[in-house]
Amino acid sequence: MKKFASSILIFWLAAVVLGRLLQLNPNQIDLSGILSSPSFSYLLGADDLGRSILARLLRGVEVSFMVSIIVTVITMLVGVCIGLLAGFYGGKIDRVLMQITDVFLAFPGILLAIAFAAVLGPGLINLMIALSITGWVSYARLTRGQALGLRNRQHVLAAESLGASVPRMIFRHILPLLTSILVVEATYSLASVMIAEASLSFLGLGIQAPNASWGAMLRDGVRYMLIAPHYVLIVGLSLMSLILAINLGGDYLRDKLDVRTET
């Protein structure tokens, strides 16, 4: 499983680098090649504007990786800070912060991200803002739960009675114990942000034409499914391989780091 997952990830990373080296142009329009099937001139066929599906897939996965890494880092920083505050201080601060996360959790799945993306307007930056506004909640909940337990551990109390400052207690004595659980959470969140980005782009709320994105390609693929089924099939299989690989990687890390998750 581990080998399978990592080889898929390495395959995609290598493909992206190779695509950059060969200077494949994802926006090269060729009206004679519209929706053509895979052939020597178009290894994976061409889309509705005669652009190479291969080149667009590679650019799409690049953007997808970038978005999910940036959003994961932002949401993790914000969520962990809020979670630490709530868990460390407890009391009123905790109650107010958790009430706020409860409200965010009252919106199922990506509904809130859809709503934010809708009012902010489409585009890459707004997409990342929408995903960040809604993504920090899970980190905050997770960190808060852990910090609440760690706050009264002997070593933290000992540090406190020795006069350690609050930041020192948080960063030296609590945060390091959260590392493995946060690493695992981050892996899953990479996959879920990737899915969310593709969902929003699929709905036309994310990355805009002519920029390549897997979600938008999948939507176009559905549109031309009757005349060019290879389009939707290729994008679909690529997406599947990537999501599977990341999730398998997450499972592997979870077992390896022995993190217990309650779902």
Partner 1 sequence: MFLIKKLSSFATVIFGVLLLTFLLIHLVPGDPVEVMLGESASSADRNQLRADLGLDQPLIQQFGAYLAKLSQGDLGKSIHTKTPIIEMMKTRYPATVKLALLSLIIGIALGVPMGVYAALKVNHWQDIVVTLVSVRLSAMPAFWLGPMLMLIFAVWLGWLPVSGMESGASIILPALTLGFGLSAILTRMTRTSLLEVLNDDYIRTARAKGLTEQAVILRHALRAALLPIITIVGLQMGSLLAGTVITETIFSWDGIGRLLVESIEKRDYPVTQACVLIVALSYVLVNLVTDVLYRFADPRVRVSA
- Smallest gap, in angstroms, from Cβ of residue 202 to partner 1? 5
- Smallest gap, in angstroms, from Cβ of residue 222 to partner 1? 5
Gyration radius from the chain CA atoms? 22
CA 232 to chain centre: 22
- Smallest gap, in angstroms, from Cβ of residue 177 to partner 1? 26
**Each residue of 17-54: b (16+ CB within 10 Å) or e?**
eebeeeebebeeeeeebbbbeeeeebebbbbebbbbbb
**Residue among 50 and 204 whose Cβ is closer to partner 1:** 204
**Residue among 71 and 178 whose Cβ is closer to partner 1:** 71
- Smallest gap, in angstroms, from Cβ of residue 114 to partner 1? 6
CB 127, CB 67: distance < 8 Å: yes
Among the listed residues 89, 81, 68, the one whose alpha carbon sits nearest the alpha carbon of residue 136:
81
- Smallest gap, in angstroms, from Cβ of residue 167 to partner 1? 30
**Residue among 72 and 174 whose Cβ is closer to partner 1:** 72
Residue ranges binding partner 1 (CB under 8 A):
99-100, 102-103, 106-112, 114-116, 118-121, 195, 198-199, 202-205, 215, 218-219, 221-222, 225-226, 229, 232-233, 236, 239-240, 243-244, 247
- Smallest gap, in angstroms, from Cβ of residue 174 to partner 1? 27
Please name the amino acid found at residue 201. Answer: S
HSE value, Cβ hemisphere, 13 Å, CA-based, for 215: 21
**Residue among 133 and 169 whose Cβ is closer to partner 1:** 133
**Phi and psi based region of residue 109 (left: phi greater than 0; alpha: psi -120 to 50; beta: remaining):** left
**Residue among 90 and 236 whose Cβ is closer to partner 1:** 236
Please name the amino acid found at residue 37. Answer: S
- Smallest gap, in angstroms, from Cβ of residue 151 to partner 1? 23
Q: How many whole angstroms separate alpha carbon 146 and alpha carbon 260?
A: 11
**Residue among 148 and 177 whose Cβ is closer to partner 1:** 148
**Residue among 109 and 149 whose Cβ is closer to partner 1:** 109
- Number of CB atoms found within 10 A of residue 179's CB: 10
Q: How many whole angstroms separate alpha carbon 235 and alpha carbon 58?
A: 11
